[in-house]
Amino acid sequence: MARSTNRLAGVSIDASLAATATLEAKHDQTLAINDIVEGNDFTLSNGKPGPYRLHITAQDQRLVLDFKSDENLPLYTFGLSLTPFRRVAKDYFQICDSYVMALSRTNAQNIEAIDMARRAIHNEGSEILRERLKGKATMDFDTARRLFTLVCAIMPHGGTLPPVATKPLMALFVCTQNAIRSPMAAAIAHHYFGQHIYAASAGIMAGDPDPFVGMVMDEINIDIKSHRPHSLEEIAESGFDLVMTLSPEAASQSKSFATSRTVKTENWPIADPSQTQGSREQILDAYRAVRDDLVNRVKHRFGT
């Protein structure tokens, strides 16, 4: 029997966040992730089908949950504030410590009472998690319990996130059809500055994959052949800090990016190489010119 697509097929924690964890916390995170992947029932509320792959990073005092498909296509990104979890997480840590101490110091009746209290706090945290994700994702209660366990493993005992060495910038590149310019720009940004930038791409509409893109990107050792175009609607409410528009059509809609949140927009006018006439080599040269222009722009913009 085929496995359900309403599930998390993989969960990972960003290296910049994991680097601040103790050995004990890393062990707890690994156990929690294995428990989630082993069995869960999870669906994104934006209608995107699974299975999903979740990558967790941090921005200020919130977790950033980035969902992608098995083909590594972006599906949904949103933030999870940790403020509502501070009290219950602190209580959960304390009762867990008490439970461990009780195993060697008290009788079975007291151990059972402490364990019941631990489960009650765990249930409360799981309900808070489901409520905070309402309208963004749905899950059964067991999945919420497993995810809450992971959230606790990421948070230290103080109930706040430790400072991350480098806060990733959420950057979105937008062109007309997400077939040439914006995916090239996002791949270049990820290649050179992936530790500091979360780079994504989209189009005003979704076009068709362009084979010349993969060819010219292979020449600089950046593999982009698995990219499939998608529209802005597919990554709505993703909390980007910076949006680069690469076509006149995208630039004309740049004002819409700042209507519901503070987003800085920049216009990078890049010619569409697919409009080039001539031999195959002349067309490839046009694509190479766009690629090299984007490499220079990305290095100049994010190099500092």
Q: Which range among 75-84, 138-147, 230-239 has the greatest average pLDDT?
A: 138-147
DSSP line for 8-32: EEEEEE-HHHHTTS-HHHHHHHHHH
DSSP line for 251-272: HHTGGGGGSSS--EEEE-----
Mean pLDDT estimate for the chain: 81
Eight-class DSSP state of 60 = T
- Locate 21 and state its tokens: 């964890």
- pLDDT at site 113: 62
Q: Is the pTM of this model over 0.75?
A: no
Name the more confident of 280 and 14: 280
- pLDDT at site 85: 77
Beta sheet of 8-13, edge-to-edge order: 8-13, 52-59, 62-68, 74-81
Mean per-residue pLDDT for 59-65? 78
**pLDDT above 90: percentage of residues in the chain:** 35
167/157 Cα distance (integer angstroms) = 21
Mean per-residue pLDDT for 144-168? 68
Selection from 273, 45, 60 nearest residue 163 by Cα? 60
**pLDDT above 70: percentage of residues in the chain:** 78
Kind plus residue range of the DSSP H or E element containing 128: helix 108-132
Lowest-pLDDT choice from 24-33, 86-95, 255-264, 266-275: 255-264
Half-sphere exposure of 201 (CA within 13 A, CB side): 25
Domains of the chain: 8-154 (no CATH), 169-302 (3.40.50.2300)
Lowest-pLDDT choice from 117-121, 155-159, 251-255: 155-159
Selection from 133, 199, 156, 162 nearest residue 58 by Cα? 162
Q: Which range among 35-49, 72-86, 108-122, 246-260 has the greatest average pLDDT?
A: 35-49
- pLDDT at site 165: 45
